Amino acid sequence: MDQITGRDLILACSAIGAGLAMIAGLGPGIGQGYAAGKATEAVGRQPEARGDIVSTMLVGQAVSETTGIYSFLIALILLFVKPLV
């Protein structure tokens, strides 16, 4: 029977950690969809404020997208860099 070595354990934990990091990508997607829907409603109520609404929405979406990008970067590091092996 083969035993699990320390290297195998580190690789398995890195893969699990990368999967957990990618779960963080769900939040920004849901939040951006919600923000876009609310911005569409606001433009429908006040068409003359379209420029302000859209610019504010885009800045908010850019800020919320950083969470997804950071989680993707962490997942890539855990999968491909493997600093502990």
Domain that holds residue 40: 10-80
Tell me the HSE value of 78 on the side-chain side, using a 13 A CA sphere.
19
Q: Is there a domain that residue 56 lies in?
A: yes
How many helices (H) does the chain have, and how many strands (E)?
Answer: 3, 0
Residues 28-81 have pLDDT tens digits of: 888 888 989 999 999 999 999 999 999 999 998 888 888 889 999 999 998 888
In eight-state DSSP terms, residue 64 is H
- Residue 4 in this model has a pLDDT that exceeds 80: yes
- Write down the pLDDT at residue 52: 92
State the CATH number of the domain containing residue 34: 1.20.20.10
Q: Is there a domain that residue 40 lies in?
A: yes
Q: How many domains does the chain have?
A: 1
Does this model's pTM top 0.85? no
Tell me the HSE value of 71 on the side-chain side, using a 13 A CA sphere.
17
Q: Is there a domain that residue 20 lies in?
A: yes
